[in-house]
Structures are given as C-alpha cells and as structure tokens.
Structure 1
Amino acid sequence: MNFKEIHIGALIKQRVAEHDIEIPRICNFFKCTEAEMEEMLVQENLSTDLVLKWCKLLEYDFFRIYSHHLMLYSSPSTIKGEDSGKEKSSLPEFRKNIYTKEIIEFILELIKTGKKSKYQIVNEYKIPKTTLYRWIEKYMKE
C-alpha cells in the first residue's frame, strides 16, 4: 500500500470487488444511479461525508489510510517539551504514536530494501529508536 499517493476511489472499488457487493445495493444505500456510483469510484478525492458512507457500507475505515499518511509524511509541529506556550484546543487530541501492522510492515520494508537506513527512519518519521529496534527484533527474524 502506497500511503503517499492516496486514490480513494480506487481503494473503495477494490474493497467493493473483494466483498462482491451488488451494484443495486450500493445505489440504494447512496440513493444514486449506477453512473453516479461509478463516477465516485474513479475519483481520486471524495467529500468526507461520502467517504464516511462508504466506510459504513463496506465496514472499513478508509480514514485510517489518511491517518497513516499523516504519521509517515507530515512534519511534527513542535518538538516535545517546546509546546508549553501553546494554547489548548477544544478539539479532541489523538496520540500520534499508534502504529498499525501496515505502518510497521511499511517501515520494515524500507529497511529491508535499503531505501532508508534505520537512522533516516528514526529522524524522518520520528519513530523512537527503541521502538524501531523492537520491531526489527520481533518482525524481521527469518
């Protein structure tokens, strides 16, 4: 899975095919025509309300793909300990360091193929060194 380039329509289409969901059921759920439904599946971007409906219909959290993108490709807004003057937001706060199986596999694949060194991964993705070495010990045994 390429978390850098996200084509949500293609991912939804893949999930529909995997679960063999009938087109009339989808059209009924969205209250749309078959042409409108097909148009959604070729779009690179969809509105969040449509993605949410697809999540419910296909029982899959497509928003996690975007979360993975943020974990891997966004720069940290502040360095730990330097945010003391920052105002608290009324929005919910989420822990950034929740690594899924897909993220771990992606990181380990970068090391295995030599695309990135351990040092680069620690610096670019802000993954703690001990966490990275634990993953290597646990998942890269051959």
Structure 2
Amino acid sequence: MLYKEIHIGKFIKERVDESKITIERICKFLNRDEDAVEDMYTNTSMDTDLLLRWSKLLEYDFFRLYSSHLILYAPPSAVGKNQQKSDKIPYFRKNIYTQEIKDFIMKRILSGEMTQNDVIKEYSIPKSTLHRWLQKTDNTNG
C-alpha cells in the first residue's frame, strides 16, 4: 500500500526520474557528492532538513506521505488523548483529508477490496464523511 510502508528514498528516486533533474544539479543543490545522493535513494528515512531540501528541489511535498500515513493508520485511541492545544506550535486537525486520501479510500471501496464498514473501522473515518464522499462520487459518475 502506498501510505502504509513509506520508503522515502524510493519515492525520491521516482520523483527524480520523473523530473529528469541531472545528478549534477542535485549534488550542487544538496551540497553532497554523487555517492551520497545514490545512498539516499536506499534510505527508508532521512533527516527532516534534508527531506525539506529534496521537497524544494523536486517541487513535491514528501512530508504529505507521512501526514497521509497518520491520517490512515494512527490508532483511533490516540486521537485527542494527551493533546493539549499550544500557542507555541501549530495544531492540525486529524479530520482534514487530502484528495489523495479520498481517492485512495474510494478506490478501495469501489474495487470491492474493502466495505464501507471496513473503512470506517480501519481508518476511523466518520460514517457521515464517507457517505458524503460516496455521494460526490455518484454525482460525478452519474
């Protein structure tokens, strides 16, 4: 599954291939040699500063992969517990679903891979939210 296991190096390599950016430009932008860049493609994780630089260079938000993972796979019991709003750091609501998340969920339902109840249980998506997505899908297809 796309969001369950994140191998950030593979995602970066795919984006590099799509973008057709030269290794010279990558090395210069990241201030690394070619071997170090090639090693990054094999990493399952990396430093956030480096990931931010990759995101800027490749014009792709790699952090969204992790946000999507949290939306889909964070245990429901963890939602709201031990969370205190702070003025010092931004607070993000869990119930903001990206279009990629919606498409991922709808694909699983429409293909028969999961039922609506399976989705509600596994991903803690409210029933009303899921029905709204289904209605929008019906309206665009019909």
TM, length-normalised to structure 1: 0.86
Query: What do residues 12-51 of structure 1 show as CA deviations (whole Å, max 9, x unaligned)?
Result: 1111111110110110111111111111111111111111
Work out which of the residue numbers 105, 110, 115 in structure 1 matches 2:113.
Answer: 115
User: Does the alignment pair 1:75 with 2:54?
Assistant: no
SS in 2 for 1:97: coil
| Structure 1 residue aligned with 2:97 | 99
| 8 Å contact from structure 2 (residues 85, 91) kept in 1 | no
- Unaligned residue ranges in structure 1 (runs of 5+): none
| Structure 2 residue aligned with 1:124 | 122
Distance 1:107 1:96, change over 3 A: same
SS in 1 for 2:46: coil
Query: What do residues 81-121 of structure 1 show as CA deviations (whole Å, max 9, x unaligned)?
Result: xx6x9644343210111111211111112212323211121
User: Does the alignment pair 1:66 with 2:66?
Assistant: yes
- Unaligned residue ranges in structure 2 (runs of 5+): none
| Structure 1 residue aligned with 2:29 | 29
Determine the C-alpha separation between the residues in 1 that align with 2:83 and 2:39: 43
RMSD over equivalenced CA pairs, Å: 2.0
Determine the C-alpha separation between the residues in 2 that align with 1:137 and 1:88: 34
- Size of the alignment, in residue pairs? 138
Work out which of the residue numbers 115, 123, 137 in structure 2 matches 1:139.
Answer: 137
Determine the C-alpha separation between the residues in 1 that align with 2:122 and 2:50: 33
User: Does the alignment pair 1:41 with 2:38?
Assistant: no
Amino acid at match of 2:21: I
TM, length-normalised to structure 2: 0.86
